[in-house]
């Protein structure tokens, strides 16, 4: 049930939602694209809370009506039907109440951002590179199922279909809010395709999730950049271009270097490299503002060593275990096909429960 403290918070949300709805018709706000976007993002988030609250109140009202009906009904069969209906509505109301509790947790302003994801092979040689490719496919399928758009920024392929490194962007609604907990070392246990003896190997891959910076988030001065161009090459050093289309950008003040050679166009490679650079610099700025978040990212990403892991994918047992929340699911095949909802929901719920405790 909603207590007084929770009701006060809901009342403030309802008032703010109404205020924002009215402001969306203000010509001054509409003309200011940055302000308009901020208002729309807040309005969208509050709309989810308002909608959930409305559904909860409706379900609670239906439940009370069903209970009252079951208590008044004299016919045994009809009373039993009313009791079953009341039990179903009670379960629905409890689920909506739980959802409402989660939605009322203060939202991280970064949750609505698009991301740039970096996957790198750690220990395990070719098998680690192959698993890096598997993780890329897993996240791509999840993004496709969500209606999000993904785009490869840079890829360093191996000759057998793996990736030493792949950097790609994902854009859509609340992408960072869903994928932010994927940063860290992912461990795989399976018989490698390259292993004829049938022995189970353990390999590791690191994943980094960077909220993508917008032009208004971070300013990069042109004089702080050194831009080099060169000819790109494919696996095995074979030339895939006869022009200097590959781009390397060095941010002189920080020493951050980004290389992009995935496109045949130098202009496109430069644009992609700048996006990655902005994301890395933006994250560095966020880390300065939040020391706790910086320590968390460092412990998660690590070096790709087998001992540093946030999740294990065990193929012989069809098992996926997230070590941070002690979650084990025996549905690895479905997860690798992009069915990550149960994992992400559990991670978000754990984070939200910790936030509620705080």
Q: How far is CA 262 from CA 250, 266, 280, 286, in A?
A: 18, 10, 19, 28
Lowest mean pLDDT among 122-136, 225-239, 294-308: 294-308
At 151, is the pLDDT very low, low, confident or very high (cuts 50, 70, 90)? Answer: very high
Every domain of the chain and the residues it spans: 4-103, 115-216+304-357, 222-288
Dist CA 313 CA 186 (whole Å): 8
Summarize pLDDT for 96-127 with one digit per residue, the tens. 988 888 788 777 778 888 999 999 999 888 99
In this structure, what token pair is assigned to residue 155? 């890829």
Distance CA 121, CA 306 (A): 11
Residue 299: per-residue pLDDT = 44
Between CA 128 and CA 170 the distance in angstroms is 23
Q: Please, which pLDDT band fits residue 290 given cuts at 50, 70 and 90?
A: low
- Between the CA atoms of 18, 19, 20 and 26, what dihedral angle is there, to the nearest 10 degrees? 120
Strand partners, 254: none
Q: Is the pLDDT of residue 303 over 80?
A: no
Query: 336-339 long-range contacts, Cβ below 8 Å, gap at least 24?
Result: 336/134, 336/137, 336/138, 337/138, 337/141, 338/138, 338/139, 338/140, 338/141, 338/142, 338/143, 338/144, 338/145, 339/142
Which pLDDT belongs to residue 305? Answer: 42
- pLDDT band at residue 298 using 50, 70 and 90 as cut-offs: very low
* C-alpha–C-alpha distance, residues 6 and 2, integer Å: 6
pTM over 0.85: no
Encode pLDDT of 157-214 as tens digits. 988 889 999 999 999 988 998 899 999 999 999 998 767 667 889 999 999 999 988 7
- The dotted CATH code for 222-288 is 3.30.160.20
pLDDT class of 219 with cuts at 50, 70, 90: confident
- Distance CA(301)–CA(293), nearest Å, equals 12
**If you ran DSSP here, which 8-state letter would residue 213 be given?**
P
CB 328 within 8 A of CB 343: no
- Looking at residue 358, its pLDDT comes to 57
Given pLDDT bands bounded at 50, 70 and 90, which one contains residue 237?
very low
Candidates 337, 313, 310, 307; CA nearest to 322 is: 310
Protein fold of 115-216+304-357: Alpha-Beta Plaits (3.30.70)
Q: Is the pLDDT of residue 281 over 60?
A: yes
> For the residues 260-269, what does the mean pLDDT come to?
86
Distance CA(97)–CA(2), nearest Å, equals 8
């Amino acid at each position: 049930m909603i207590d007084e403290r929770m009701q006060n918070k809901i009342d403030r949300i309802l008032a703010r939602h109404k205020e924002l709805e009215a402001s969306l018709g203000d010509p001054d706000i509409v003309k200011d694209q940055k302000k308009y976007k901020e208002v729309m993002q807040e309005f969208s988030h509050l709309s989810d809370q308002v909608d959930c609250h409305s559904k909860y109140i409706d379900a609670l009202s239906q439940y009370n009506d069903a209970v009252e009906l079951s208590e008044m009904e004299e016919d045994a069969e009809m009373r039993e039907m009313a009791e079953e209906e009341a039990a179903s509505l009670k379960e629905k109301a409890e689920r909506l109440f739980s959802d409402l509790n989660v939605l009322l947790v203060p939202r991280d302003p970064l949750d609505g951002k698009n991301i740039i994801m970096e996957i790198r092979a750690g220990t395990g040689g070719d098998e680690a590179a192959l698993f890096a490719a598997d993780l890329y496919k897993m996240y791509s399928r999840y993004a496709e199922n969500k209606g999000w758009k993904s785009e490869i920024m840079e890829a360093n392929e191996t000759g057998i279909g793996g990736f030493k490194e792949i950097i790609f962007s994902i854009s859509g609604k609340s992408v960072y809010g869903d994928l932010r907990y994927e940063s860290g070392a992912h461990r795989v246990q399976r018989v490698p395709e390259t292993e004829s003896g049938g022995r189970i190997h353990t390999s590791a891959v690191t994943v980094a999730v960077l909220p993508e910076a917008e032009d208004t988030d971070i300013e990069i001065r042109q004089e702080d950049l050194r831009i080099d161009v060169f000819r790109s090459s494919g696996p095995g050093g074979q030339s895939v271009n006869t022009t200097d289309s590959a781009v390397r950008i060095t941010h002189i003040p920080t020493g951050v270097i980004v290389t992009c050679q995935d496109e045949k166009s130098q202009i496109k490679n430069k644009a992609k490299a700048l996006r990655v650079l902005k994301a890395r610099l933006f994250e560095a700025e966020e880390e300065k503002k939040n020391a706790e978040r910086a320590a968390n990212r460092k412990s998660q990403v690590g070096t790709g060593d087998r001992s540093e892991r946030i999740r294990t994918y065990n193929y012989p047992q069809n098992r996926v275990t997230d070590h941070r929340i002690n979650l084990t699911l025996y549905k690895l095949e479905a997860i690798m096909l992009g069915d990550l909802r149960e994992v992400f929901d559990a991670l978000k719920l754990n984070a939200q429960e910790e936030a509620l405790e705080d």
